Chain A
């Protein structure tokens, strides 16, 4: 049912929503952009080409990429197991996946500190192996892994639920082994969800702050991600550095999420239109 003309009530509601979103979301973003370019373009450029920033960006990217790699494998696996298998403790596991979403990042960092700090349970073992986790990149990697865990699984579960089992049966009766079935029948159908999950995971990993602050310590030159760089720049009164980095991080995250959003939209349009994902 398409609405005819919007009545007065409708316009009031629309106006309320626009004003609300304008104040809540658009205004702060605008303030940041204005503030960052307050000293001109060169200041911003210097900020984002400084060695400290680039080093922090490289660290953030490395951690995020590794996290994405691991989560894509495990997230898909977990989703598969939860959809296609039945076993004792399944609903508990299902609930567990959502926990990282609600646990405070500070608590995440602290949990890892309890495990890997000098007084932690796992410290003696790792010290003998010469591996440092607390106040090091591995610890930050684990923290980021924790907080980003739900995203991949939650995207893959509905995608796996919607798989076309007929094609799988058909392929199997034709003699295809499990690997072939996976790579040629199942995987193509999951691609779009996988990509979207990857993007969300990546954006979340890049933006992690509280947990990496606690477990990493923000040591310049060693455990400073872009978020921690922004935090430190604020403390050093290097405001343009902070704002420029914030804009870069924000814009980057928003762009990749928007692209993924758009791809998802297009893909679901394909499905609606009755096209199936290519089998080969």
Chain B
């Protein structure tokens, strides 16, 4: 009995040890491993783009590239990279999250230097409503109604959530919300509070939020147009409603110098960064619900992505730096609003 036991232990130890060897570093010099840290919404798109890139890169260089992918809420992902997650490439929801990594000293080049200023895809804030639009949601003012149950993620962890708040506030400020006077910050804030008081679930990322919606929670989800299209693509029956005024969501992608240099993956990483702007890759993005930055593909798909009446960007608020402070800082517009709304329950 003792001998058998001992044998088993040795076998087990052996298994573990030989298991430990594999999967840590590339076994031969013809394989390179890239680590991608992205936000949740484009996971299907990047899944496909990675496959295409792997084939293309192999044809071009004879080198195999393996990917390790992580998809979290944009804010959570950005903080994970700062905390030690060694992503070679980050594809996040908003510029501020990339800047956080830059401020931590991990990105040392000017990632906004390119033609598209580092933006690889775009989308717009829109609404997901139940099949048939039973509550007849047309625009932002319908969200302040009495008996409506809204889902939007938590800005603490989700980039998408921040876009949602800015779109809401911006539309109100620009006078495109019925019943809310334009150019009136107080009125806009009041409107924000009204909508927030209708929010029932605040999940930690855009994907989690729409999944809740699919589980039957809520009447409406504020989310990326992209998220809704991907959901519908996988068989969901909710409908997309585009508001008359909304914000242009610009998603950046950047190379993380510190990790790339440590891993020795600069060549492949830079190639991937170029690849995502190619026509093939941008087509894949557009097939997965994203609006693209490539002009040609944008024209090809303009039927699927109708223009918005009043499309504004973060420039309306002066850019991300003031936004992080004025909206999401400790005394920010959103922070005040949410505390008032939920503290009062």
**A residues adjacent to B (C-beta < 8 A):** 58, 62, 65-66, 68-69, 113, 116-119, 123, 132, 134-135, 183-184, 187-188, 191, 217-222, 232, 234-237, 278
Contact = CB atoms under 8 A, between A and B. Distances in A.
A123 B84 contact: yes
Main secondary structure of the interface of B (DSSP, over half): helix
Contacts of B85: 134-135, 217, 219
Nearest to A221: B68
Interface in B189-244: 207-208, 211, 214, 231, 234
A123 B1 CA distance: 44
Contact of A236 (B20, B35, B43): B43
Which of A123, A132, A219 lies at the interface centre, i.e. has the most chain B CB atoms within 10 A of its CB?
A: A219
Contacts of B70: 217-220
A134 B84 contact: yes
Which of B9, B66, B84, B211 lies at the interface centre, i.e. has the most chain A CB atoms within 10 A of its CB?
A: B84
B67 A221 contact: yes
B339 interface: no
Contact of A116 (B12, B71, B72, B84): B84
B9 A132 contact: no
Given A132-B84, A188-B2, A236-B44, 8 more contacts: A62-B19, A65-B16, A66-B16, A117-B83, A217-B85, A219-B70, A232-B71, A236-B43
Nearest to B207: A235
A153 to B, nearest CB: 19
A62 B9 contact: no
A278 B70 CA distance: 53
Contacts of B69: 219-221
Contacts of A221: 66-69
B84 A135 contact: yes
B5 to A, nearest CB: 7
B15 interface: yes
A155 to B, nearest CB: 16
A237 B86 CA distance: 27
A62 B16 contact: yes
Given A219-B85, A235-B211, A191 B80 contact: no
User: Chain B interface residue count: which class?
Assistant: 20 to 34
Contacts of A69: 9, 12-13, 16
Contacts of A235: 40, 71, 207-208, 211
Nearest to A63: B16
B1 A191 contact: yes
B144 interface: no
Which of B16, B44, B66 lies at the interface centre, i.e. has the most chain A CB atoms within 10 A of its CB?
A: B16
Nearest to A133: B84
Nearest to B37: A219
A222 B207 CA distance: 22
A24 B2 CA distance: 42
A113 B83 contact: yes
B82 interface: yes
Nearest to B231: A237
A118 B258 CA distance: 13
Nearest to B15: A65
Contact of B5 (A113, A118, A191, A218): A191
Contact of B86 (A65, A68, A132, A183): A132
Contacts of B43: 236
Nearest to B77: A217
A269 to B, nearest CB: 18
Contacts of A217: 70, 72, 80, 85
Interface in B1-56: 1-2, 5, 9, 12-13, 15-16, 19-20, 35, 40, 43-44
Nearest to B82: A118
Interface in B305-327: none
